[in-house]
Structure 1
Amino acid sequence: MNKSKWLKYDLHMHSFASKHKDNGRVKEMDAQSFADILINAGVEVFSVTDHNVFDSDFYSKLKDYIKDKRIRLIYGIELDVYVDSINFFQMGAYFSPNVDMTKISPIIVELYKDGKKPLLSEIIAKLFHLKTKFILIPEGNKAKGIVDVLKHLDDISKDDIYKFAMYKIFSAYDVRPSFNEISQNEWAANFYTHSVRADEILRDKIGQDRKTLLDNIRKRIHDENYILENDEKALYEYIVNYGSYFSYFTFSDWHNSEPYSPVLNNFIFGSYDTYFDSFEMAVLDPKSRIIRTTDNEVVIPGNILGSVQFSMKGVQHPIQFSPGLNVIVGKRGSGKSLLLSVIERLSNRESLDIKEYKAFDIKNISGNYYDGIPLSEGQLSSIAIIKQDKIKEVYENPDKALQTISSKFPILAPYDKSKLELVLSIALGVKPYDKNYKSITSIVKQIRRLDFFTFTIHNKLNFTTIDGYFTNAETMLNKIKTDISSTGINSERISVQLSVLKNNHAYFKKLYDLYNSIFDKHNTRIGVVNKGKTELQRVMTDLRREINQILTSLKNNFSILLEFNKLKHLLNNFALDAPQIGKAIVNKYMFVTTYKIPDNITDLLVEELTNSISKLKNDTNSMTLLEKYVNGEKNLKSTVSNMTDGLKKFINSDIFLPKKEFYQMNSKSVPNLEINNYNDILKLLDEGSITNLSNASLGMQSVAYLDLIFDLSESILMFDQPEDNIDNDYISNYLVPLIKSKKRDKQLIFVTHNPSVAVYGDAFNYIYAENDGNITYTNYFIENIDDKLNIMKILDGGKPSFSNRNKKYGNILGEEEYGNNNI
């Protein structure tokens, strides 16, 4: 087996033979020097594509010089394809190695001699005389700007465009009958017209205009019902119908008087033995077989499986494996699953599956890694075996995809709504002022008028005690006088004191009586006055009650004013902290959990408060409207009980619940970027660095789930007939594109009997299991013509069956292949 690899191709360059067009850029150079420049640059397959000239002598010298070197040569030429007497575009023509090279130059000379300007139909008609396979690829240099447009489309959009690249190959053995002379020229004219129109559209599109154009085209690619403007529609049709012709190659266009320094290197998967057929396969299936990179080589991991050997009933069975997709095909009972069991035994020597084949006497299981390191049982590492029911489950139950995707999202803490709750608590204290009270000034005046004197009743003076004191004193003095007189002493002085005492007794009694008489008269007058004052006291009580009520209202109004001013201040200065964001990277997907808090959150809070107020047509949701409500100029709606009803619902709405979205990353730099908030996500979306798949169809989400199934750390993934019980549409639209994408990074081993998985999935290696009494395994490679016929027989019933089916589909295929349907 000739080991396949990623070969560096450069199929667009010019020698001195292009001097008639590029005189200042090319120079005389011998074949050896020309080839050595390419060899030293690591080029492994090249073509010299001079303008309308095929230098067979120079090609012969190149071929002779490189015959023992690790570089291969494809005969090629760059042709001017005219669409009228003035306008043309350029197309690369590449010929099979079995062509009679000496016949190419005369045909080219005949096409362009005497200033002829050949149409596409004339070129193809002449090339048919070579009786060999040739490939014609329109060049993108006439589509100014279109490559840049394609470069900025996301991967999903590119996939949708690349699917149109299938069969876009003009070949002597492949062109359909429907692609006749008229169709060929029509195709060329349309290609040129659309190229010029695309150039006109893009010429002045810069900045935001170009971004808008790209965004709308991207939307149309994903949604066939999306309506485009005239310019957008014209550019979209050009991209879809022609973009895939040249969007997957970026050859150097080297002119040999200039340094050889390609912007990108083009790698095609193939082998030195089948370099032209590998090129053909790459044109047919660019996503699978072409890698454009600035790297000088595409390294194939050494730890993938290179070969397996085992004996069965004493017969040795060597089987080769390649990078990318390996398919094990054959009829039921042919030994496909047996081979999987052998491989599993290399990974796990305790595996019991091989015991099911005890009758086959399986022995001496061994193998080799792709880099040649030998393997024995249990030594094959980094392999995962995926059962068919896992993929079948997604097909039958797409919601399963959503469940699996949901498990990848980071978990965030509940959103901190304390600032929002503070707004709510203050807003609860805002209500209309109470203006339903009398003037406090008039009430105070009434109180002062009625309450300027005091009415007091005086009690009478009590003389009884004093009268007793005087009586007792008189009695004592009379006794003293009697006792002194009995002794013969003169008691006259006592008599005088007794007389004074009696006079004082009489005087004070009279005085008390006089005061009591005055008090009686005063109290009688007070009684009359008080009788009239009882009614005034009731009025005073009512007035004092009213003033207390007024003071309470004023106090409440002051509190409302204070709360309203606090609310205004809070809303005028309101800002929420940037919501946290959680990010998880799984394969090419980014799972994001965040809180999408609107930038206009303050406006929304005011709106929720004002929505509770009855408004006229010209009223706006503003603090002015709230102020009118507080002043009593506006009322609440009849359906609202409190101004904060809407605000409460808003704060408890889904806005403040975590949002989960997952994205496909279109740029390798995204995993390393610092993403701090949702605005960073929006920027990446605008740049096209990520694509939001959250609202994608269940089919798209199923693809993501399948991708996650494939996203295992192991380098080798092995599947046992995953397409069983899944319809072909699902296989073609979801499973196969994923296989093409994954086989660049991992080695895939599929047991299958489905042509879509094998052929459309572009297997690099077919392992045919056959049981005609003895099980045998044969490696086939679709680049080899003999192997191709065998693969056709195995998967499509052979050439007659395939040819019959192809003819039945022929008209449809012809229209899609060459862009003549709707152009």
Structure 2
Amino acid sequence: MNPIYIDLHIHTSENPNEPNNNYDVDTLLLKVKKISQNAPFMLSLTDHNMINKDAYLNLISKTNHVLLGAELHIRNYPNESPYHCHIFFNVNSIDEEVISNVNKILDILYPEKLITGDTSKIPTIEEVVKSLDSFDFILLPHGGQSHKTFDKSIPRNGEVKFDSTLERSIYYNQFDGFTARSNIGLEETQKYFKRLGINEFVNLITCSDNYDPKKYPNAKTKDAGPFLPTWMYATPTFDGLRLSLSEASRFVYCDIISKDWAEYICNANLDNDKISINASLTPGLNVVIGGSSSGKTLFVDSIYRKISGDFSESNYKYFHVDELSVINPSGIIPHYINQNFIINLLSSDDKDVNDIEIIQKVFPIDHAIDEKINQGLVQLKTDLSELIKSVKQINILEGNLIRIPVFTRLITKQKTKENMYNQFIPSDESIETYYLSESQYTQYIKVLDTIDSFISKNPFVNNVTVAINEIKEKLESAFLISNFEFNIKGVLEKYKDNLDEELFTLNHEAQSKKQNKENLLKYFAQYITCLSNFNKALSRISEYDISCETNKIEVSGHQLSIQNSFVLNKEGILRAFNKYLKSSNSISVFEDITPQSLFESNFSKKQPKVDDYDDFQRKVYTEFEKINKKDYKIQTSEGKQFNDISPGWKSAVLLDIILGYRKDMAPLIIDQPEDNLATNYINTGFIKTIKKIKTEKQIILVSHNATIPMLGDAQNVVLCRNDNNKIIIRSSPLEGKIDEKTMVDYIAEITDGGKSSIKKRVKKYNLKSFREEL
């Protein structure tokens, strides 16, 4: 809803006894359009104690949205200066007959329009109200002008108790707001209104108090002070003004106003023999009301499903809701919190608060920590694989070594023939310098592609694709050579083994000693390499130091954090090792870890059972994968932990967080949130949050609680009815009507037990005893 410029204090005549029949309406409208920046506007011509019929008839012939009104003098106390009070009438149309009827009464109340000197004949508010009882009207006294303000009409000697029960009752029922040229210098009036108990729902509208349209919006006197325009977020009608006067948030006081945002769901339409939907939606708060089985949930559920494009789980296919037409210019998919979603989530062991999409977005996710953990796990897998591979090889080598005779038994004086193939088979040390497995080659290529992609997208560095491609060519060449060499080596080893057998048969003892000596040296070399690899892997593991710091943010007074107990260090590694070793073979300190301490013979064979080296490696790694789990924590604004509060308050906290999330301006649809909320929270925290956030995003809220549309000050109300088993859904602003019945009356009837119930509650609350002191 876009703001409306209003000025309800414009004079047409300096002397009300002689109305200006030639008031320049055309000039006034030109000036108003300039100040309103061509936005819609609402005007009223309020002369002293009379209505200028000719000026009004001329004005309504040239513009819409005109309120019939006047500026009255009202006496508060004898011998005290009267105050000026604007009166605005709720009439179906402004015509000659209506104006004449009002003027007849005003002529009786004010036979002399221009008030000077004696004030004893000026009517009191009781007399004004009684005389005009046949009309529906609102009264707005002066509150901040330099003259004739309400506070100056009250004796200052302290002998008068102006806030008596009778007066408070009169003012409570009659004063809907007050006027001034700007929003400064109002303190005295507001103090008196506070004592009368009406300050919270009696708000200011600024007016020009202009007499000359050529000088609009200047006032008659030069000391009147600057004019600050009022912009109203409501329809430009009597009811729009009346409802707005009880809600300060509907008024904005500034020279230049910005238009509302345009990214919202605008309209929903569907018409068949089972249902008729023709509902407009607006920015701000849209409240959906209706009796039982009237289609409230159907309406919001179907809007969400239409926009998201999925009716597979709809419960309303009988109504052909897939044919619903929704105008959603932005294409943004709204967030939808259905009727039982939160309470079902809280009662399920398989779900957490972060299962709500918008809640998950609110939590302070630290991607740097996530990346650090993932890199740590990748490094752990690599180092653990290298460590256990070395242990396994050392275990095998020790088995091989004990099957070779002692070195002195390998000495022989006999001549032995050399196996010529030994000259062509490269040593393990040489192989390590050039061997490239297929998995390593693939990994290197992926890393290079990642680097190339990053730098190509980076606007601050030069492209390196050519250099990357050169490296890829070198890697491919190295991989092909390594693969070729591996195959050749396999052939040579086969021929070497065959020749060893032949040589063995020629001289069994000498050749046996020679082969054992060669194997001994080979095993020694391999053992040293494996032990070196083991120590290097263990050294890298000993330097692990990864833990997670908890970041916190505050949303709507609640503290949100993501806790992760993941810790990767040498102490954690030692605990994991010991968990899968026999208790008798547990390792005391990390520095005591040796290859022998991790031999398969030391593995636990019961609970937990470890099958082999691969199983040990997998189980140790899984220990750290398991602790990499995020725990979403909420500490309420009262300092309590989320898990320790009742389901009703949990729902309240989650709604606080959902409504308080400002990084996402997608519309928010909530179905009957009050079902799981404490009444006190609805009346205070929930309403406060709704009113704050509705200026920033569209809210569509299904409710059967009158507090939400009334105290939440809904911009729009969607009325759902079941008429002879056909669902009818229509909409209107809160101040509007459907089928000639006001939306306020529908709200009272459907959600608040009807106006008779409201009156009875007011009576029982004994509000006449309510009084606030200065």
- What TM-score, normalized to structure 2? 0.49
- What TM-score, normalized to structure 1? 0.46
Whichever of the two has the greater Rg, that structure is: 1
